Amino acid sequence: MFFPSKPYIDQVVPYEPGRPIEEVQRELGIRHLVKLASNENPLGVSPKARRALQKLLPNLHYYPESTAPELLKALAKYHGVSGKQIILGNGSNEIIEFLCRALLSEGDEVVSGECSFLVYPLITQICGGRFRVSPMKDFAYDLDALGRLINAKTRLVFIANPNNPTGTYVTQQVLARFLSKVGEEVIVCLDEAYADFADAKDYPRGLNYLKQGAGNVIVLRTFSKSHGLAGLRIGYGIGSERLIQYLQKVRQPFNVNAAAQVAARAALEDKAYLRRAQKLVKQGRMFLYKGFDRLGLKYVRSQANFVLVDLGTDSKPVVDGLLKKGLIVRGVKAYNLPTFIRVSIGLPAQNTQFIKMLDLILRRTKGES
């Protein structure tokens, strides 16, 4: 069949998400599975969000309020900004899409780090843009190298801070220097999907730059990770009023569903849940580091709710072996790291099970037992 396809869309390689529990259950017939592959929150849905969702159920035959005014008000208060500076998305992925659709014309350039969130190149490509990357330095963004790629065609810069899949972060000092050099006409997207898990003293909150007047900065946040609502798909961007109102023009009505709106509002108020999630991640990271040390594996210290670890051997047989033991983790070949896996922090018992199984499978793979 002939249709006038666009070559840059024909060339798109679809994004491969972490394998869903249901899919693996169907395929392998394993009933009890632990998913540590998509950086979700192992605490489940927050009790406050759960109650809000139950209350909403009888009203689901109505469309939601398209602009989600109650949630916007709550977020504005939470972050100390105006509601006009916030745009909501069907996951923060949708804000990435708004940015590319609203800012890119064919041939325009987008710049990021080599080993970062794969949705940035994907959406850039779909919008006809050219994606350029600077090499990483010790698994972290090298903002000096990245800055050198910026030219007259550059419209957008994506910096995931902390970064996925490496868990590394850009420091306050380095980010401030970078932002002071980038021209106002280039939009800098600071993707803070994992910010709630970052506890390093020199980890910079992007919002501060915005509040200090950096009109070209947009900060992305999500309810998928620290707030445990990945299945509802809700995230948001905070930027200058001018940029946000411009992005609103490409947002479809009702992009954020009614359940996501009420659950997000309730989750935002559930401070006890957030604290529990943060503690769990902090302790989980330390537990995994110790486990990897014992197994003699190199890993990257993380400011997020996952850890990237080098198995020193092809990751595929290990990922498959873990799957057969009921553990779903993420191979990261798509990021050019064929010997690494990325494992999300789970509940303590899940982390223990993971280290135990990893030990067993690595011994087998290396022929020691």
Ligand X SMILES: Cc1ncc(COP(=O)(O)O)c(C=O)c1O
**Kind and range of the H or E element at 330?**
strand 330-332
**222 binding ligand X? (CB under 6 A):** yes
Q: Which two tokens stand for residue 365?
A: 């793979």
Among 39, 125, 154, 350, binds ligand X (CB under 6 A): 39
Q: Which stretch binds ligand X (CB under 6 A): 67-75, 91-99, 144-152, 267-275?
A: 91-99
**Angle between helix 241-248 and 92-103 (nearest 10):** 90
Single residue of 42, 64, 91, 167 touching ligand X by CB under 6 A: 91
Looking at 41, 46, 93, 303, which residue binds ligand X (CB under 6 A)?
93
How far is Cα 59 from Cα 263, in angstroms, rounded to an integer? Answer: 14
Q: Residues 161 to 190: which contact ligand X by CB under 6 A?
A: 164
| Shortest CB 92 distance to ligand X, Å | 4
The Cα 37–Cα 346 span in angstroms is: 10
In the bound complex, what is the minimum distance in angstroms from residue 235's beta carbon to ligand X? Answer: 3
Question: How many residues line the site for ligand X (CB under 6 A)?
Answer: 13
Site map 141..160 versus ligand X, x via CB under 6 A: -------------------x
Nearest to 64 by CA among 303, 315, 272, 252: 252
| Helices and strands per DSSP (H, E), number in the chain | 14, 15
- Residue 168 and residue 185 in contact, taking contact as beta carbons nearer than 8 Å: no
> Which CB atom, from 224 or from 226, has the smaller least distance to ligand X?
224
Comparing CB distances to ligand X, the nearer of 38 and 365 is: 38
Decide if 325 contacts 281 (C-beta within 8 A): no
Verify binding: residue 261, ligand X, rule CB under 6 A: no
Residue 222 C-beta: closest distance to ligand X, Å: 3
Q: Is 104 in the site for ligand X (CB under 6 A)?
A: no
Site of tokens 């040390």:
293
Would you say 89 or 129 has its CB closer to ligand X? 89
Return the amino acid letter for 238: I
At closest approach, how far in Å is the CB of 51 from ligand X? 22
Whole-number Å distance between alpha carbons of 137 and 268: 35
Mapped onto helix, strand or coil, the DSSP state of residue 10 is: helix
Residue numbers at the binding site for ligand X (CB under 6 A): 39, 91-93, 117, 160, 164, 191, 193, 222, 224, 230, 235
